[in-house]
Amino acid sequence: MPVNQAPPVYSNQHSVAELAARKRQRGLSVSVCLPALNEAATIGDICGEIHALMPTLVDELIVVDSGSNDDTIDVARAAGATTYRTSSLVPQIQIHSGGKGEALWKTLAVARGDIVVWLDSDTRNFTPAFVADLVAPLLMEDRIRLSKAFYDRPLQEPTGALTTGGARVTELVVRPLAHVLFPELTGFIQPLSGEYASYRDLLRSVPLFTGYGVEIGLLIDLSERIGLEHMIQVDLGSRVHRNQEILALGRMAFQVAQVMTLRAEQLGRMKMAGEWPEILTQFRSTDEGPVLEQHHLVVEELPPMESVAGAG
């Protein structure tokens, strides 16, 4: 399997007004969708910045909440978003381990824009450029079907200082596995970035995985569907967000690796000796010594939204 050339980096030189004019010229609409879980501290500012782009560049702002126990929904709604709970959308499909992937999938049941922009909801340095820069290549270049963000991801220390060392799952799990199983994807700088944009009809035509396997699964499936020549990368500078502790990253990596090996086997690139385990064993350090923890982690593949009757 040869290594393909890395998708090029797009540099947006267009103002919001120019992009909005191009959107009107092409008769397109844009939906910005955010999955959320207990993000009351950040989602209000993010939605406020996006709402300021309406109705010129953005036509619809949607937040799909995975069951927050804080004020995420109220804060998002007050900032101009249309809000939904995952439990209220597509109830005919039973999902047992949904997480982020379920929330993203269910945005496709309610979003009406021709272009869908997906953004994470824990960003602390969000600006409208996150949206403008992601939609720019889709609006300005007919051949582009997916724009994928990359950025520096500094770690925030308890003191508030920012240091290098983010994107740990990418560098420790995704990139090594990609070199073996998906060398054509090694040119993506941030394959797990939660900021990307594509056409709604295309996103609705492919399956999505639940949990944290959603980004890498979608990247694999879209590269198979449309080819790298229709993809582009967008530099969003730096993204400051809530960093996960190491055991949480281990659980994330477990799901990501499961999706990569599953797709690789289905595509004939490897052969698993057995089934992927559903239990991840970890050890948490305490004052009394290591404590064993076991986590039941199952990744589910959700059908293409276009195939779900009455999805909207």
> What residue has token string 């978003």?
81
Query: DSSP readout, 34-88?
Result: EEESS-HHHHHHHHHHHHTTTTTT-SEEEEEES--SSSHHHHHHHTT-EEEEGGG
What pLDDT is stored for residue 216 in this prediction?
98
Per domain, the residue ranges of the chain are 9-303
Lowest-confidence region among 49-63, 83-97, 146-160, 187-201: 146-160
CATH number of 9-303: 3.90.550.10
| pLDDT the model gives residue 155 | 56
What confidence tens digit (pLDDT) does each residue in 77-132 have? 999 999 999 999 999 999 998 899 999 999 999 999 999 999 999 999 999 999 99
Mean pLDDT across the chain, nearest whole number?
Answer: 92
| % the chain with pLDDT above 90 | 87
Q: Which residue has the higher pLDDT, 30 or 97?
A: 30
User: Is the distance from CB of 34 to CB of 151 less than 8 angstroms?
Assistant: no
Residue 2 has pLDDT above 60, yes or no: no
pLDDT for res 239: 80
Overall pTM > 0.85: yes
Q: Which of 191, 168, 309, 310 is nearest to 259 (CA)?
A: 191
Tell me the chain's radius of gyration from C-alpha atoms.
19
**DSSP-assigned letter for residue 173:** I
The dihedrals phi and psi of 63, each to the nearest 5 degrees, come to: -120, 125
Asked if the peptide bond before residue 55 counts as cis, ω within 30 degrees of 0, the response is: yes
CB of 9 within 8 A of CB of 234? yes
Question: Comparing 31-40, 41-50, 261-270, 301-310, which segment has the lowest mean pLDDT?
Answer: 301-310
Q: Tell me: the pLDDT tens digits for 129-176? A: 999 999 999 999 999 999 999 998 665 555 554 444 457 899 999 999
Cα separation values, 81 from 45, 76, 249, Å:
11, 5, 30
Cβ neighbour number for residue 173 with a 10 Å cutoff: 20
Region 176-188 average pLDDT: 96
